[in-house]
Structure 1
Amino acid sequence: MRKISTCLFIPLATLIFCQCRTARPLSAPVARIATEGFITCFEPGLADGKTWCEASAVLAQGERIYLANDKDMPAPRSSVFYINWQKDSTTRTGLDPDSPVYLDQPVLRLAHKFEEFAQSPNHKWTFLTTAFDRIKPGSADFDGYNMLLAWHPGQEGNVQLVGAGNDENASLDLRKQLQQALGGSAYFKVEGLAATNTHLWFGVREQGEHFDKFDYRITLLKAKYRTQDGASIRKNVLLDKPVFVRNFDVTDVDAALPKPLAISSIEYDPHRRCFWLLTSFEQGEKIGAYLWVISEKGIKNNGNLQLIRTQDGKPLTFNHKAEDMTFTDHNTLFIIHDDDRVRTHIGPLERQPNQAAYSVVKIQ
């Protein structure tokens, strides 16, 4: 396992990334993988190895790293949990990976297939979305796959359901609106969620006729949100209808990149006023991912995604299916990987069913 080293960021690198704040394109973004490891999500041997940790969402908040599994967990565990994390620690990135604490709010147990956390830059709201990838007309069986949740940081006991109509126990109104914004597609899958102080941004990874007949996408939607003080908990966060923003094509960016690549995460960077995106691919047992960046003005002005590269000019490459990311400081991204049931490796260590891989990326 690589060890974290202290990074000294020279003024030139600062100037390079300050270009995110302007209309000019980014110039040769550079980053490196500082360390990688495994997080223990639950005890070994659970359900005789039939249950795997497929962590798909992550959020650094205070001295906790929150994670969510896109598979249901056997009671009394839940699919949303946190591990303790000491930001200033120099050992194993400060993680205490063997002590998950499961959140037991009932609504978290009703939701299925979590995909991404997001936090508003003003730290007033935490958001968590499911995939919105299935529905059963005339039945509530799949309603739990259609939930957007919100709460004030540290107040997980007051989880709110966003985008639900009257007397709905899921975000079914939001699902209809997402579908409309995507041109009425019968099937779609949300894997990205980012928050500014005014808007939620959704990343759509799959879109098509059916769950086994679709195209991989890097598609962005956005919706304005606001709060209604004094309203009931259910209606405290109000969301406008999502609108289509962009569909990105990265086919010709670098001949070395595998195809197709599809979005697996989007993160807003209030420090640079940029959006960071993860794209990943799945080819049987072969999986991988890449990191990209684009300014807000770049999105509005038909700019291109900029591929993050290493110091030697090669694409920064993850040998895992990167699923979500969170900033732990202005220049550090903590990335969680959902490797499905592939036994990936970090050095001599092989991933076990109760583990999820992570990477720490230093922006230089």
Structure 2
Amino acid sequence: MRRSSSSFFFLFLAFFCSWAQASMGLAELPAAPGDGPVTVFYPSSDAAQPTRRARFTLEVAAEGTPVPGNGRLVVISHGSGGAPWVHADIARSLVETGFVVAMPEHKADNYKDDSDPGPDSWTIRPAEVSRAIDAVVRDPRFAPLLRLDKVGMYGMSAGGHTALSLAGGRWSPAAFARHCEANLVNDFQSCVGLVTRLTGSPLDDIKKWTALFVIRRRFGDDAVAREHTDPRIAAIVAGVPSSADFDMGSLADPRVPLGLITARQDRWLIPRFHSDRVLAACLPRCELIAEMPTGGHGALLSPPPPGLSGLIGDMLDDPPGFDRPNVLQDVNKKTTAFFRTHLLP
């Protein structure tokens, strides 16, 4: 018995060391019919090198050889018009703990094609997350390294909407329209995105009329609640989620452990209409992982997109006084700890 225990210990130590000393690998799984590609970050035995992706340079082992980690997968759902690269730092925190991280490219709501954000995208995103899980485990490099009885899911902004849907939340396009009818001025960017903003000029009345006309025409007649769950997903984190269109009663008892991250200076998704309502509905059956008092809507984008200007810069750039390096390191550490607590044996 003593020899067996000793052998087990050294075997465990060998596996631990293989990913604890690994670099972060990067692979891009080709798009399946009807879907975009899936980006995968994972522990790799190959050396990291500066690698250019879009406007970002990442220190990764591109197409590096995977090594065994902790056996668990976390799927990340990006925000509207988003990309995998702006979530590389939370991916790195997870990979350093042994997780494999997969990021689907959401159809018509990504950095290559942002032609159809909002409720149309929110309807299909949860199933895209499920198919991303399928894509990873079809790949012979990753399938032997993963157990799928406990998968994690993280989403930010529109990805946070996806996260709440997968946690059991029900929402409807009609509820989105009702919210915007009641709160258009106070939650304007949530309702119209980055098409325009209110400036206090005489044109504001035209902008408001046009916004409500489009919203009512596209979403007002549909009262069917949307929901999608995946039994493989066992823990979820929603960061600054879009959530004004949810039936909050459906989030009172999340189907899996649910963590929230909030940013008090968020001017795109005003907390009182979004994350605060979710917390009021689900506490104490959910967990506030982190609250960023000086964080704006783009606080969780890490690394942040460079060179933003105009309205998108106003919405995503850091507010004055936001200590990005220290705050994000703490938030990523707490988020990783949440998944470690709920996904590891």
Query: Would you say same fold, with TM above 0.5?
Result: no
Q: Radius of gyration: which is bigger?
A: 2
Structure with greater helix percent: 2
TM-score (norm 1): 0.29
TM-score (norm 2): 0.30
